Structure 1
Amino acid sequence: MIFRFTASDLWLLLGALGGLALAITCLALSVHALVHGRMPGRPLQRAVRFPRLWGAGVLLAVFALGRHSTWLLAGAVGIVIFGHVVKRAR
């Protein structure tokens, strides 16, 4: 049996691999933010004010995308936005 790939099959495969790479990157960043309480890299440290809240929101967003849950994804995006906006109490 000979498998023949068309251009649309290749684009579909590249899209799936890109989505997987993005999900793995988001998981790594969110776990780092949850464990260490800070963001890796200077641009992310400047942009995110509450890293643990941001990390929880990104983890929830990746889970929501995997479950195809629109409401859960909307809540996760809200949590990520709060992670950018809310200042820590000192």
Structure 2
Amino acid sequence: MQQAGFTAAFTPNTLVPYPYTDGNTYDIDFVSNGESATAAGYTYAAVTSRSFHTGGVNVLLMDGSVRFASNSISITTWQAISSRAGGEVLGSDF
């Protein structure tokens, strides 16, 4: 990926282990196609929000405010704050 972004498939800093052909396991993000790989097909991705901050990530909200999201935030709340205008009710863990 050559742009900044993330998906809400996993909560912040989730380890996504991938056993590679060299025998090692790596923590990865997944993108099904590189940019410009195909003009006609879809690209699927699971890109985890990551940070070097201890225990979570900073989140920029659409109103310009910044909040801290803990690594232990529920997936339901994480996906709710990651939508643009879905009207979801946020959990008490954010």
TM (norm. structure 2) is 0.28
Q: Is the radius of gyration larger for structure 1 or structure 2?
A: 1
TM (norm. structure 1) is 0.29
Higher helix proportion, which one? 1
Higher strand proportion, which one? 2
